[in-house]
Amino acid sequence: MMRHGGCNCGAVRLTISGDPKRFGLCHCLTCRKETGSAFLPSIIWSSGNVTVDGSTSSWDKRHFCSRCGSPLFHERQSRDEIEVLTGCLDDAPTSLAPDHEIWTVRREHWLGSVDRTTQHENDPPWIAKRSA
């Protein structure tokens, strides 16, 4: 399966093939500030399955469009993975659903946990520990 995505102005385009490895929601402060929302939804693919066309800028391995500022993807600690922000995908809503939530200690009290997801109070085992 092929998926496509990009920024608001069209200067950056993503082409994604295959199935994702994971799909999660992060409630940490950094992700909340990046999105201006209560959490960040992102889907992790093998980096070889994602092609990025266009110029991005980055901060702390978080890439966004150099022209319009749309957040797009994160480089993962493991170089064989890329974390694509769900909001930049063209097919909305997607057919995908989250399988985990992280930093639930920071989840807003008015948000419940997502059904059928694994819950992690902070970083899960596949992410090196950080404070957020």
Distance CA(36)–CA(25), nearest Å, equals: 14
Which structural domain range is residue 18 located in?
A: 2-119
In-domain check, residue 43: yes
Q: Is residue 74 part of a domain?
A: yes
Which CATH number fits the domain that encloses residue 101? 2.170.150.70
Could you tell me which residue, 126 or 114, shows the higher pLDDT?
Answer: 114
Instruction: Give pTM, 2 decimals.
Output: 0.90
Kindly report, residue by residue over 52-75, the tens digit of the pLDDT.
999 999 999 999 999 999 999 999
Residue 121 · residue 39 · CB < 8 Å? no
In total, how many domains does the chain have?
Answer: 1
127 assigned to some structural domain? no
- Does residue 132 sit within a domain? no
Residue with tokens 């022209």: 67
